[in-house]
Structure 1
Amino acid sequence: MDIIKDFLLQLTFMVIPIFIYFTFITERIKSGKNRNVIMSILWGISIFLCMSFPVSIGQNAHLDLRIIPLLFGTLYGGFWPGVFLTALIILFRLYFGISIGFYNTILVLLLSLPVILYFQKSFANSKKDKRGKIAVGLSFYYCFIGLTIFGILREFSIDYLKVQIIHLIFVLVVTWFFTMLNEMIREIHQLRSEVQDSEKLRVISELTSVFAHEIRNPMQVTRGFLQLLNDPDLPNEKKEYIQISIEELDRANGIINDFLSFGKPSIYNNEKIEVGYQLERVINIIQSYTINYKIEIKADILYNCWTYANPQKLNQSLINILKNAIESMPNGGIVWITCTSTDDEYIKIMIKDQGIGMTKKEIDRLGYPFYSLKEKGTGLGMMVSFQIIHSFKGKIKVNSEKGIGTEFIILLPQIT
């Protein structure tokens, strides 16, 4: 019973970081880098507690769940959190003195950390169920390595082997449970964030429907009178003023059109379309636009990729993203466009440029109204593009680096 009680205490140490992180951190800190730092510290505290209150087996043998905070910190945080937590384990174990247990810890970490880091990227790109399998598999590997090395450094005993089996089973169950718990909480927070964003955008949509047409009518009247005033006998200076006024009215009218596109219900007449064909049409349309910017488009399109979507709306979304890619390269460059199918039954459209790039903070704000990196941009075109893709049950991922370029990845459900 004492062993079970000690293991349950170790379990409590796993709950603390997750509870603190999702209760106090996610709502207050938006930067992913700062979140990783704080989460690494929390997992470090968990490791400290696990190693301070281990499960005692006899006089010289101790077991704890340090693998779980190390595993979670590395899989969710990446390379540096993994190195930090590994160093913390080594230093804390060194505090207890150099012994066979210390050498055992060093060897297990040296053999385990590279494997965990190897699977980290695959874990980050996987869905919830696959993440659970990866985490459990890595936990089993860590425990197996630890058991093997301990058996080499010390002699096995039946009693110790029984405890190790209990420890292994407990670690695997706890790893799976906390992976699922962590993923579920992350999904809830993401869903809540999306609901909040949807509520904000719904308000904008309602305001758009009420005011857009009323604003457009006097603008059209004003534009008509400006055209009438544009007499051939007017001085060139006054003609220039009238022309600028007309151009600014047209730009304002374009913004209203974007608002109306956003304000319309996102229920389109979807049909079965071939994405490769639609992408080829978009490239043909945008080719003339690239001439003024000295842009070269390189395309690698896989055909026979089918999805349910509205072809006009899909083209509108792709053109908006392509125009942004082109305009981000004032000195020219290359835009790469690919269309492939993925193993998880998605059609993957990739649009990559060599433009000015974006920071993580700028990427997080992308798709929000009135946020644009262009001098005269409103952000409404990108907002409408995001809405269109989401209406097709698709996803948009953005990877970018300042001064290097930006990569848009559009995932659409594939059908046969």
Structure 2
Amino acid sequence: MIKRTQTKLLILAGTIAVTVAIHYGYVLPYLFGHSTWVHAVHSRFCYIPIAIAAAWFGLRGGLISASAISLLVLPFVLIPNAVVPSEHFSSMSSELVEIFFYFGFGVLIGALVDRESRIRQRHESAQLQLERAKHLAVVGQMAAGVAHEIKNPLASIKGAVEIVGGESTPEADRREFRTIISKEIKRIDGTVKEFLEYARPRPTELKPLDLTALIESALRQIGAQPDHQAIHFETELEPEVQILGDSDKLHQVILNLVLNAVQASPRESVISISLRRVPGEGVRLTIKDQGKGIRPEDLPRIFEPFYTTKHRGTGLGLTIVKGIIEDHKGLIEVSSSETGGATFTVTFPPVGGVIH
């Protein structure tokens, strides 16, 4: 910053020296001779360093540069024939008026620059305060979300522990409530992981990967869960589709989108999943469920943090998904059919390319 200011001052000093030299008649008269129009031209060059100083340093710069130039041209004004015969130049009164205009010009430009600077600073300050307010609001929402999502599982765990610890509780009931405890602990763990992923995401590491194999792996993992065995998957996957991506994060994206589709669909539904290369666009993944669909008023907010239409959930899943896809230079879109069902479409750029 100091070096930059010093450079500006050197440029300004050089500009003042050149323009004053022109004003004294050291340059133009040698090219065009002594005439009224020549002096009228080179006397106006003194406004250039004043404008530069005012633009760089505001009102103070404009006044200082106007003062410096005025002091340097005063000998030319006050001492007759100081440099060249005075008949070739304007009268003393016109020169003094010119000096007055130097100050007026410096004040005008400097005041406008200072005003613009103050407006910009107020805008930046307002933006900073807005960002802080948003940050505090997000922190508040996160705290409320964590409390809400953990409160119910903790209550279930507490009740189950009391029952398991009872001397009169049958062994079969103990096993059942141990399962409940384990399930609720997993739920808490998932909630905490989701909040951490949103608040402090891991850096994305892009490497060549087989997206087809990644989708098949995620579907096997989901299909192995007893709660999801009543859902059928209809897949249309092109083999060995290669992209640059973070396998762990994309695995999370696929799990989240497919699980959302599973949760939105009734039992014995069919979830359609397709993966294909689109010439000129990249790779397109489509996941379609057979649920009730998404209301039109909910569509614009579906990726907002903490916004959810579910009875249970943090509202962060799709926000995290969107962030991961954008880290991969991809695009996610959602549509809902009037007859029911929602479709999520994810487009990844071709290897070494971008989505336009």
What is the TM-score normalised by the length of structure 1?
A: 0.44
Deviations 1:2-41 (A, max 9, x none): xxxxxxxxxxxxxxxxxxxxxxxxxxxxxxxxxxxxxxxx
The amino acid across from 2:206 in the alignment is N
What is the RMSD of the two structures over their aligned residues, measured on CA atoms?
4.4
Task: Mark the runs of 5 or more structure 2 residues left unpaired by the alignment.
Answer: 1-129
Task: Tell me the residue number matched to 2:166.
Answer: 233
Given candidates 300, 303, 315, the residue that maps to 1:379 is 315
Given candidates 176, 180, 190, the residue that maps to 1:254 is 190
Task: Tell me the residue number matched to 1:22.
Answer: none
234 and 374 in structure 1: CA distance in 2 versus 1, 3 angstrom threshold: farther
Task: Tell me the residue number matched to 1:367.
Answer: 303
398 and 220 in structure 1: CA distance in 2 versus 1, 3 angstrom threshold: closer
Q: Separation in 2 of the partners of 1:364 and 1:392?
A: 22
Q: Aligned with 2:297: secondary structure?
A: helix
Given candidates 315, 326, 345, the residue that maps to 1:390 is 326
257 and 207 in structure 1: CA distance in 2 versus 1, 3 angstrom threshold: farther
Deviations 1:114-145 (A, max 9, x none): xxxxxxxxxxxxxxxxxxxxxxxxxxxxxxxx
Q: Separation in 1 of the partners of 2:288 and 2:338?
A: 14
Q: Aligned with 2:197: secondary structure?
A: helix
Given candidates 211, 227, 230, the residue that maps to 1:294 is 230
Q: Separation in 2 of the partners of 1:291 and 1:241?
A: 18
Asked if structure 2 preserves the Cα contact closer than 8 Å seen for 1:230 and 1:239, the reply is no
% identical equivalent positions:
21
Asked if structure 2 preserves the Cα contact closer than 8 Å seen for 1:212 and 1:256, the reply is no
Q: Separation in 1 of the partners of 2:346 and 2:139?
A: 28
Instruction: Quote how far apart the aligned CAs of 1:305 are.
Output: 2.5
The amino acid across from 1:320 in the alignment is N
The amino acid across from 1:275 in the alignment is L
In the alignment, is residue 342 of structure 1 matched against residue 265 of structure 2? no
Asked if structure 2 preserves the Cα contact closer than 8 Å seen for 1:299 and 1:338, the reply is yes
220 and 320 in structure 1: CA distance in 2 versus 1, 3 angstrom threshold: closer
Deviations 1:280-333 (A, max 9, x none): 211221222476452111111113422221101101111111011011112321
Instruction: Quote how far apart the aligned CAs of 1:223 are.
Output: 9.9
Instruction: Quote how far apart the aligned CAs of 1:243 are.
Output: 8.2
Q: Separation in 2 of the partners of 1:352 and 1:217?
A: 31
Deviations 1:49-77 (A, max 9, x none): xxxxxxxxxxxxxxxxxxxxxxxxxxxxx
Q: Separation in 1 of the partners of 2:189 and 2:180?
A: 14
Instruction: Quote how far apart the aligned CAs of 1:242 are.
Output: 9.5
Pairing of 1:72-87 with structure 2 (within 5 A): none
Q: Which structure is larger by alpha-carbon Rg, 1 or 2?
A: 2
346 and 200 in structure 1: CA distance in 2 versus 1, 3 angstrom threshold: farther
Instruction: Quote how far apart the aligned CAs of 1:348 are.
Output: 0.2
The amino acid across from 1:349 in the alignment is L
Instruction: Quote how far apart the aligned CAs of 1:227 are.
Output: 7.9
Asked if structure 1 preserves the Cα contact closer than 8 Å seen for 2:306 and 2:316, the reply is yes
Given candidates 323, 326, 336, the residue that maps to 2:262 is 326
Instruction: Quote how far apart the aligned CAs of 1:342 are.
Output: 1.4
Asked if structure 2 preserves the Cα contact closer than 8 Å seen for 1:346 and 1:413, the reply is yes
Instruction: Quote how far apart the aligned CAs of 1:361 are.
Output: 1.5
Matched length: 220
Q: Separation in 2 of the partners of 1:253 and 1:265?
A: 16
336 and 215 in structure 1: CA distance in 2 versus 1, 3 angstrom threshold: closer
200 and 340 in structure 1: CA distance in 2 versus 1, 3 angstrom threshold: farther
**Which structure carries more relative contact order (alpha carbon 8 Å, separation 6+)?**
2
Task: Tell me the residue number matched to 1:358.
Answer: 294
Q: Separation in 1 of the partners of 2:256 and 2:336?
A: 17
More helix by share: 1
Instruction: Quote how far apart the aligned CAs of 1:412 are.
Output: 0.8
Task: Tell me the residue number matched to 1:269.
Answer: 205
Task: Mark the runs of 5 or more structure 1 residues left unpaired by the alignment.
Answer: 1-196
What is the TM-score normalised by the length of structure 2?
A: 0.50
